[in-house]
């Protein structure tokens, strides 16, 4: 197994990648940012916020993402008249010790001129980053997220519990592990509460699921799609039990919201449903939104379980694809990193696949590319939300 290494950052964290983030600050600048990054797309990843109206959550998310440990430098791309506070974002990035440059399309000559300036800056900056040395990194310095998408009847009996086994190993080694999507944990609140570090945290876990249930009831929508039913799932409770299995069996150390960085190793639930009245539509419009929110909380990589066959990856942080369905794996092997379907066919145990996922994650941390990275997947979604700060009961000492 390759030794875990990382790129040291000024805040004491280490990154397992050293990418340049090309960040657009309004949808009107998206095309220019994409064209700037395209020639260097393996090392320059496009992220951004599409809205013109400012949003505290989006500002905080972009600040966290642009100072993510996997990011070595940032190019901001502004149209010029949007309301995003680019000055604050640039200041936060600069104070983190990273190279940063801001291009303003309206000021810098329009589309072609801004693309040319941006591509030159990217080339020069990547040449500088190429000289960065990796240093030894402990497993306890890792933050790992997990999601499941394109779930079917196999997800909850192979891929998800196998990730749970990997999570248990990582937690025992001191890593911080994040599971999410309270809308897919409806019916599991009491089981989670029994695993909480404190009674006060147990109450917070219950409340987060109750909030998700109210939110979806108001929308007349649940986290259950036609594709789930086609794949053999019958109810949200059945889907929830499968999704819950990703969390493993460790004690739950805390509840966080997007952008909250786990203060220490342990297992954390991320509450992704906005606070307050329903204002912004579906809490997460795709699995990539959840990946982005866990990245904002420091996740170095994501373990993604799929039964139907999601092929997405992510900008900034690698995604390890765990195939739950053995038949799907045969069709999409070029997109999948781990065949957890071998549990169903009797060719491997949950513990063996859990160990395989754990060991692969460490190799990815040491620099090995995942299938989605090699294929050039770099999906990214950030939309409007609103959150209140977590209370002291959410992070027991």
pTM higher than 0.85 for the full model?
Answer: yes
Angle CA(21)–CA(24)–CA(28) in degrees, nearest 5? Answer: 155
CA 100 from chain center: how many Å? Answer: 23
362 is written with which tokens? 């460490």
Q: Tell whether the model's pLDDT for residue 337 goes beyond 60.
A: yes
Instruction: Give the burial class of 396: count Cβ atoms within 10 A of its Cβ; 0-12 exposed, 13-18 middle, 19 or more buried.
Output: middle
pLDDT tens per residue, range 192-240: 999 999 999 999 999 999 999 999 889 887 665 555 555 555 555 565 6
Please give the residue that has the higher pLDDT: either 245 or 47: 47
279 is written with which tokens? 């204002």
Number of other residues whose CB lies within 10 A of the CB of residue 75? 26
The region of weakest confidence among 154-158, 192-196, 252-256, 354-358 is: 154-158
Mean pLDDT of 130-134: 93
Percent helix, strand, coil in the chain (nearest 5)?
A: 40, 15, 40
Number of other residues whose CB lies within 10 A of the CB of residue 217? 11
Rounded Cα distance between 268 and 262, Å, is 8
Q: Tell whether the model's pLDDT for residue 353 goes beyond 90.
A: yes
Q: Tell whether the model's pLDDT for residue 60 goes beyond 70.
A: yes
Alpha helix segments (H runs only) across the chain = 30-37, 56-66, 86-95, 111-129, 159-172, 189-193, 199-219, 226-230, 236-244, 287-296, 326-332, 342-345, 350-365, 371-374
The region of weakest confidence among 37-41, 130-134, 184-188, 327-331 is: 184-188
Mean pLDDT of 338-357: 97
Backbone CA torsion sign across 306, 308, 309, 313: negative
pLDDT band at 9 (very low <50, low <70, confident <90, very high): very high
199 with 206: CB under 8 angstroms? no
92 is written with which tokens? 């936060």
In 3D space, the residue among 323, 306, 301, 324 whose CA is nearest the CA of residue 370 turns out to be: 301
Q: Tell whether the model's pLDDT for residue 322 goes beyond 80.
A: yes
Q: What is the three-class DSSP state of 183?
A: helix
The region of weakest confidence among 180-189, 220-229, 369-378 is: 220-229
357 with 338: CB under 8 angstroms? yes
Of all residues in the chain, the percent with pLDDT exceeding 90 is 84
144, β-bridge pairs? 177, 301
pLDDT band at 338 (very low <50, low <70, confident <90, very high): very high
Please give the full DSSP string across 260-276, using - where no structure is assigned. PPPSSSEEEEE--SPSS
Rounded Cα distance between 359 and 333, Å, is 19
Mean pLDDT of 70-74: 98
144 is written with which tokens? 């790992």
| DSSP state at residue 6 | E
Angle CA(285)–CA(281)–CA(254) in degrees, nearest 5? Answer: 70
pLDDT tens per residue, range 77-131: 999 999 999 999 999 999 999 999 999 999 999 999 999 999 999 999 999 999 8
pLDDT tens per residue, range 263-299: 999 999 999 999 999 998 888 888 999 999 999 999 9
Mean pLDDT of 304-311: 93
């Amino acid at each position: 197994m390759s030794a875990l290494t990382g790129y040291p950052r000024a805040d004491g964290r280490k990154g397992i990648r050293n990418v340049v983030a090309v960040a657009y600050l309004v949808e009107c600048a998206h095309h220019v940012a994409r064209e700037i990054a395209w020639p260097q797309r393996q090392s320059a990843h496009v992220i951004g916020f599409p809205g013109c109206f400012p949003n505290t959550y989006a500002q905080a998310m972009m600040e966290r993402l642009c100072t993510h440990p996997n990011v070595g430098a940032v190019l901001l791309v502004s149209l010029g008249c949007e309301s995003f506070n680019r000055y604050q974002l640039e200041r936060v990035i600069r104070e983190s010790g990273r190279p940063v440059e801001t291009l303003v399309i309206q000021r810098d000559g329009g589309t072609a001129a801004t693309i040319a300036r941006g591509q030159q800056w990217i080339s020069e900056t990547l040449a500088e980053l190429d000289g960065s040395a990796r240093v030894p990194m402990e497993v306890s310095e890792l933050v790992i997220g997990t999601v499941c998408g394109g779930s079917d009847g196999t997800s909850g009996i192979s891929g998800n519990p196998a990730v749970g086994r990997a999570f248990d190993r990582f937690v025992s080694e001191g890593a911080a592990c994040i599971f999410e999507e309270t809308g897919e944990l409806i019916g599991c609140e009491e089981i989670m509460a029994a695993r909480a570090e404190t009674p006060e945290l147990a109450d917070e876990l219950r409340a987060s699921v109750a909030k998700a249930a109210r939110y979806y009831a108001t929308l007349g929508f649940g986290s259950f799609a036609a594709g789930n039913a086609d794949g053999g799932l019958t109810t949200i409770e059945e889907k929830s039990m499968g999704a819950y299995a990703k969390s493993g069996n460790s004690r739950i150390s805390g509840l966080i919201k997007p952008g909250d960085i786990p203060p220490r190793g342990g297992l954390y639930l991320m509450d992704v449903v906005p606070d307050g009245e329903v204002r912004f539509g579906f809490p997460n419009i795709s699995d990539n939104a959840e990946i982005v929110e866990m990245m904002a909380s420091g996740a170095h990589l994501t373990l993604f379980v799929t039964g139907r066959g999601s092929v997405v990856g992510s900008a900034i942080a690698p995604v390890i694809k765990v195939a739950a369905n053995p038949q799907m794996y045969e069709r999409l092997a070029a997109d999948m990193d781990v065949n957890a379907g071998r549990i169903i066919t009797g060719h491997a145990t949950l513990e063996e696949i859990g160990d395989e996922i754990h060991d692969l994650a460490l190799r990815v941390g040491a620099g090995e590319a995942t299938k989605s990275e090699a294929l050039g997947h770099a999906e990214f979604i950030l939309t409007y939300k609103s959150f209140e700060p977590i209370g002291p009961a959410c992070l027991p000492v």
